[in-house]
Structure 1
Amino acid sequence: MEAKNPLILTVRLDERSQRFFNEMRIKYFPPERNLLDAHLTLFHQLPDTNETLEIVQNSKRGVFEMGVIKLINLGAGVAYKVDSQELESLRQDLKRAFADRLIPQDKHGFRAHITIQNKTTPEQARLLIAELSESFEPFTIIANGLDLWEYLGGPWKHRGYQSFNYLDK
């Protein structure tokens, strides 16, 4: 039996925010290594099972705001730090649902961020964070849903979307 590729779970952003982060990523990510759009990863490796799909499909909630509060140095890159109690709550709920299926990276600390530069030198990262920090002001982005991706050894293939348009009345 052939092993299935792992799945990655990300937050779908509003179009304006997604466009902004994609433009930043195109501008600052090494082009030969930039295989993906900008993304906010919730889980890096989930099993490709019907149960995973069901858990994602049952993540019903309304859209919510998230704060982009600062730039962070990743060592060999730069990211925008994202802060949201609703996001933390969502991740905790999903973490409980996926409990026995999580890899160590996904079991431990969650640092919500959107990477715009990676796989560079520490000096390039330091220079970019200094440049962007000069004009940085916190701003708000919107979480519209969850995207599930299949990891293909570099690029990703979109496997599903769960909207956050659920309103419990």
Structure 2
Amino acid sequence: MDPNATAAPLILTLGFDAASFARLDALRRAHFPPARNFIPAHLTLFHALPGDALQEIAARLAQVAAATPPLKLSIGPPRSLGRGVALAVEGGGLCRLRRELADGWAGMLSRQDQNGFRPHVTIQNKVAPDAARALLAELAADFLPWPAEGETLLLWHYRGGPWQAAAAFPLRG
């Protein structure tokens, strides 16, 4: 972790097993507008944690990750984002893990992070609604959900463009 980079907001994502990540990222690269695709495929757990609480957040993540086994998940089905498409992510205690973290950070959560959690990986966004509907129909026609594993909690600095890695916490419980 870079102790000099604490002012930027922090984003927390879930890292997947290598095969699932490769598949999700290939879908994102194929369907996300290239001029807006600054980051790889990801599942956001928290959108804006306070950067000045980096040490406190990292300590909590290390503790929770050490006590949490890798999460058995299911990827899909596809769902509409209006101007994009996402793949739902279900199972494996993911919502329970997020709720546990949110409860511990209640006083520091943004309005967006206080709202409901619908786990997903965005593979297309910021396109015309017709283009999004077409991709949704294409994917839904023969989509088969696949098993995946959530293996790591990934913490990022957000500075308005590509995210900068801050720390990784493997799930080991």
Q: Same fold by TM-score, threshold 0.5 exceeded? A: yes
8 Å Cα contact 2:72-2:92 kept in structure 1: no
Where does residue 60 of structure 2 map in the other structure? 55
Structure 2: runs of 5+ lacking an equivalent: none
1:109-148 → structure 2 map (5 Å cutoff): 109-148=116-155
Shift of residue 85, structure 1, vs aligned partner: 4.8
TM-score by length of 1: 0.94
Change (3 A) 1:123 1:103: same
Change (3 A) 1:10 1:124: same
Shift of residue 30, structure 1, vs aligned partner: 0.5
Determine which of 12, 33, 37 is the counterpart of 2:36: 33
Change (3 A) 1:54 1:126: same
RMSD (Å), alpha carbons: 1.3
Secondary structure of residue in 1 paired with 2:143: coil
TM-score by length of 2: 0.92
- Count of aligned pairs: 165
Pairing 1:86–2:93 present:
yes
Pairing 1:23–2:26 present:
yes
C-alpha separation in 2, matches of 1:79 and 1:163: 25
C-alpha separation in 1, matches of 2:108 and 2:17: 29
> Which structure 1 residue ranges, 4+ long, deviate > 6 Å from structure 2?
none
**CA-to-aligned-CA distance 1:51-83 (integer Å, 9 cap, x gap):** 111111111311121112311100110000111
